[in-house]
Every structure is written in C-alpha cells, then in structure tokens.
Amino acid sequence: GGTWETPGACNDKWPSGYPWKTRECETSAADDGSEVIRCWRCMQPRYVLDTRFFFAFFFFLWVNALIVAVSDAIIAGSVGIWFVSEKKGFHPGRVAKSAWNVYRYHMGSLCLG
C-alpha cells in the first residue's frame, strides 16, 4: 500500500485513482510461502483529461457553431426570398426553399466556418 510519502498501486501516477474494497477476495502465495488475501482494487480516476476529452469538446463546439450558422443562413435566405417576392406575409414555402438552398449549395461553406 501507499502512504502520503510513498506511492502505492493506486496513486503512483497522475491522475491518481482510488482504492475500493471488493467482496470477492483473491488469494495468492507470498515469497515466504504464506497466503496473501487481496480484497482491495484500484479504480480509475473520476475525471481523465486526455485526447478523447479534447476531441469531444472541439467536436461539441464545432457542431454548435454549425447549428447556429445553418439557422442563420436559413433565416437570411427566407428574409431574402420574402424581400423580393410580390406577396408579403408568411409562407412556409419560402422557409423550405431557403432550407433547400442552404443544404444544397452552402453546407460545405457553413461546415468550414
């Protein structure tokens, strides 16, 4: 086991894990021939900041920006179609046409920012 000065099996590297006691104890032989009962296991750290976290965080920000950009482009297209049309007022076909234009012609530019 470890103490505050010397690391043990669970806290020998950063980030350190936590020990926990299991109900199924293992029995093994020691160097002097006696029997050693091991009931403690090491748990992974609760929060691990590795490359997976940074990839997921970057992906979250990218998808969030893409959703905002697509919604802004659809609204801008709908307003543009409304502005040049003869009939003023709401018409769902204008929003659908704007969404078609965004997904058909502008999605790559919106994905790249």
Residues 6+ apart with CB under 8 A from 82: 88, 94
Instruction: Look at residue 17 and tell me whether its pLDDT is greater than 70.
Output: yes
Rounded Cα–Cα distance for residues 23 and 40 (Å): 9
pLDDT at 1: 55
33 torsion bin: left (phi>0), alpha (psi -120 to 50), beta (else):
left
Mean pLDDT to the nearest integer, 94-110: 95
Give this prediction's pTM. Answer: 0.61
Which carries the bigger pLDDT value, residue 64 or residue 17? 64
Instruction: Give percent of the chain above pLDDT 70.
Output: 94
pLDDT digit string (tens) for 48-81?
Answer: 778 888 999 999 999 999 999 999 999 999 999 9
Instruction: Look at residue 4 and tell me whether its pLDDT is greater than 60.
Output: no
Which carries the bigger pLDDT value, residue 1 or residue 90? 90
Give the H or E element holding residue 40. strand 35-43
pLDDT at 69: 97
